[in-house]
């Protein structure tokens, strides 16, 4: 038997096996059950989430010998022909390569002939937004007064490019991105079907990489299966796909935290010497700080994080505030956007590593102002032993170098803390 990719093998053949589009599925099923069959449907949504699959299932539901039914049998000649893609009454057209008015003219002529062996003659037009304006105009007349046996199912990833005149004549369904945990559980079934062992974290990683597309998830899954030798592991994926290992990332961030930038830079050099690309290392860093940000906001679900929280040392998990992590991500996102214009992305990343080592001194203007205000109140309350010299209580002294440090870091963003500091110390001459 020839090799069949998982996306094809696992393509749902009826509404009940479709995942992640519950609203669309239940509405379609109900309208078929109640005999409310529209002459034109418009399925919109991101790629790889099931629009064409739903169109084919709807075609089967309408043309099944036991139909119209919300649960096509999959066994009759009509169902089988649609599954194989050779039904004479279900015509699939790729809007991207049949964009002209002549293509639509052919459809207009064809629709005059009734279906050969089914109840309906169904046109599935994928990427319908690619049709030209004149093609849309020609199509419009057919949709307005179609023969009773004709059903159009349009699919598009770019709803806004479909003219309003067409949209308003269709029953519209919006397909959504599929949740990573739904994708992961489908991958688990696929792995079990193949008798392949797996680490859950590895499947979660694939699900997260697929960013909501079931088709992309299956494609990546097939790639991972092909090199996994019957056992899908996270370390295998990292090895083969050139991802930076979590240990290396932990070690680099610990170095940054201890202000040992030189250690982080030698780790970076090691990764580059090992053949990893600087783009991938920056992406891994973004991923790393994103996970820390989500953890600091109380999110611990492995499905959302894509990694187990236990993979991070306790010291790192508690080292940064939300604000500091946001600042780190800002630096990294900006770096990633700019690398293509850089004279040397590696130099830029070294520079960012150095900046990240100051992260723990970063504070928002608001928190600096609050600290200064409370310092001012405390100084106002202080007993002065001499009109020229303030007696600064011991508890305030450790506070001052810290505030000074924060001011240095913040000074480019706002002058406000400086102004407050100036006011604060203007009336008092203190010896610090
Ligand atoms: Zn059937």
Helix axes 399-410, 365-380, angle to 10 degrees: 140
Indicate if 246-361 has the same CATH topology as 180-241: no
96 CA to centre of ligand 1 in angstroms: 30
CATH 2.70.150.10 applies to domain 6-174: no
Region 300-321: mean pLDDT is 84
The candidate with the shortest Cα–Cα distance to 314, out of 335, 344, 286, 292, is 292
45 CA to centre of ligand 1 in angstroms: 28
Region 90-99: mean pLDDT is 85
What's the CATH class of domain 180-241? mainly alpha
Q: Could you say which architecture CATH assigns to the domain 246-361? A: Up-down Bundle (1.20)
Region 82-108: mean pLDDT is 85
For residue 231, is pLDDT > 50? yes
% of the chain residues with pLDDT over 70 = 86
SS3 of residue 281 by DSSP = helix
48 CA to centre of ligand 1 in angstroms: 25
φ, ψ of residue 389 to 5 degrees: the values are -135, 125
- CB-facing half-sphere around the CA of 222: CA atoms within 13 A: 13
Q: Which long-range contacts (CB under 8 A, 24 or more apart) does 340-344 make?
A: none
pLDDT at 2: 61
Report the alpha-carbon distance of residue 122 to residue 111 in Å, rounded.
9
87 CA to centre of ligand 1 in angstroms: 12
60 CA to centre of ligand 1 in angstroms: 7
192 CA to centre of ligand 1 in angstroms: 28
For residue 246, is pLDDT > 60? yes
- Where along the chain do its domains lie? 6-174, 180-241, 246-361, 365-426
331 CA to centre of ligand 1 in angstroms: 57
80 CA to centre of ligand 1 in angstroms: 7
- CB-facing half-sphere around the CA of 123: CA atoms within 13 A: 26
pLDDT digits (tens, 9 = 90+) for 110-119: 888 999 889 9
The H or E element spanning position 296 is: helix 278-296
pLDDT digits (tens, 9 = 90+) for 149-196: 999 999 999 999 999 999 999 999 999 989 888 999 999 999 999 999
pLDDT at 110: 86
């Amino acid at each position: 038997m020839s090799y069949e990719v998982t996306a094809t093998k696992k393509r749902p053949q009826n509404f009940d096996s479709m995942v992640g589009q519950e609203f669309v599925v239940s509405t379609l099923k109900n309208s078929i059950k109640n005999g409310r069959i529209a002459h034109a449907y418009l399925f919109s949504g991101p790629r790889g989430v099931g629009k064409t699959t739903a169109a084919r299932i709807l075609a089967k539901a309408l043309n099944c010998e036991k139909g119209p039914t919300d649960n096509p049998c999959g066994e009759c000649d009509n169902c089988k022909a649609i599954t194989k893609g050779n039904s004479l009454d279900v015509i699939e057209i790729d809007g991207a390569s049949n964009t002209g008015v002549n293509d639509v003219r052919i459809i207009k002529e064809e629709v005059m002939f009734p279906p050969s062996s089914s109840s309906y003659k169904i046109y599935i037009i994928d990427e319908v937004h690619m049709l030209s304006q004149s093609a849309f105009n020609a199509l419009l007349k057919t949709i307005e007064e179609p023969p009773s046996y004709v059903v159009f199912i349009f699919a598009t990833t770019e709803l806004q490019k479909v003219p309003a005149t067409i949209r308003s004549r269709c029953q519209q369904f919006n397909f959504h991105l599929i949740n990573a945990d739904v994708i992961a559980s489908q991958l688990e079934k696929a792995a079990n079907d193949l008798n392949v062992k797996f680490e859950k974290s590895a499947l979660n990683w694939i699900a997260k990489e697929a960013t909501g597309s079931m088709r992309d998830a299956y494609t990546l899954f097939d790639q991972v299966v092909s090199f996994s030798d019957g056992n899908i592991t996270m370390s295998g994926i990292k090895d083969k796909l050139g991802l930076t290992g979590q240990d290396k990332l932990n070690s680099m961030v610990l170095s940054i935290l201890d202000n040992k930038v030189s250690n982080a830079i030698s780790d970076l050099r090691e990764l580059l010497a090992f053949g990893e690309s600087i783009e991938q290392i920056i992406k891994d860093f973004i991923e790393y700080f994103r996970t820390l940000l989500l953890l600091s906001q109380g999110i611990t679900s492995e499905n959302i994080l894509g990694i187990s929280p236990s993979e991070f040392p306790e010291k790192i998990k508690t080292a940064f505030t939300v604000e500091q992590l946001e600042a780190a991500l800002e630096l990294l996102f900006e770096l990633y956007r700019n690398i293509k214009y850089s004279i040397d992305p590696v130099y830029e990343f070294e520079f960012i590593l150095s900046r990240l080592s100051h992260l723990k001194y970063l504070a928002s203007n608001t928190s600096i102002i609050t600290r200064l205000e409370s310092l001012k109140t405390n100084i106002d309350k202080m007993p002065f032993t001499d009109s020229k010299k303030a007696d600064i209580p011991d508890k305030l002294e450790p506070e001052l170098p810290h505030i000074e440090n924060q001011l240095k870091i913040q000074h480019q963003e706002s002058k406000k803390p400086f102004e407050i500091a100036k006011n604060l110390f203007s009336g008092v001459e203190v010896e610090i």
